[in-house]
Structure 1
Amino acid sequence: MQTTILYIGRDAEITIVMERLLNARPEWKGICVCTDEEAVALCETQNLDLVLLGNGINAECEKVLRAKLTALQPGLKIVQHYGGGSGLLYGEIMSALS
């Protein structure tokens, strides 16, 4: 069974890299978006296991996003992702899911 991970970031280039990194592991299905509207729409239609909040999301947007996403999927794990190599990303995801 795949773990579905949604990454939300504001930088399109970083989002492309994150999509490649998340989908490089067969046990993960990575979906990456740049807007809150896309994220909410995905949360309405897909069962998510984890949300990673990336660069460029300010505190107010984060608060609103968390509220909207958890209203749609109570108990959804949402964590900050500050960047770093693929090893750090793996550790961050595994820690959040455990």
Structure 2
Amino acid sequence: MEKTNILVLADHAEILETIIRLINKNESWNGVGVNSYENAAAAFKLDKFDLVLLGVGVNDAVEQQVFELCKSIDQRIVCMRHYGGGSGLLHSEICHALGL
């Protein structure tokens, strides 16, 4: 079974690390973390992503850039804000975004 690839963009290193760790605890998901729009764009050149989560420190301008990037690559990529909270909320957000 192919894993769901999830890209997380956040500029707070410890929070980004925690989100990626929680995502990768699920055997069906593969989380990749980046801390800038430029790194997100570079990640898309290396891999295909099904979901992009925008976390801590991502401002409105960068959010818009990421939405446009996702739309230009594949209209099916889900791109959404991650608002924080425990692992249960993260799991729920991802499942909801993926229609699970």
- Tell me the TM-score normalized by structure 2: 0.92
1:23-61 per-position Cα deviation (integer Å, ceiling 9, x unaligned)? 111110000111111111111221111000001111111
Shift, 1:69, TM fit: 2.5
Counterpart mapping for 1:12-91 below 5 A: 12-91=13-92
Q: 84-93 or 35-44: which moved more?
A: 35-44
How many residues of Structure 1 are paired with residues of Structure 2 in the alignment? 98
* Rounded Cα–Cα distance in structure 2 between residues aligned with 1:37 and 1:72: 15
RMSD: 1.0
Shift, 1:67, TM fit: 0.7
- Tell me the TM-score normalized by structure 1: 0.94
Consecutive unaligned residues of structure 1, counting only runs of 5 or more, are none
Secondary structure at 1:89 match in 2: helix
User: Counterpart amino acid of 1:13?
Assistant: E
Consecutive unaligned residues of structure 2, counting only runs of 5 or more, are none
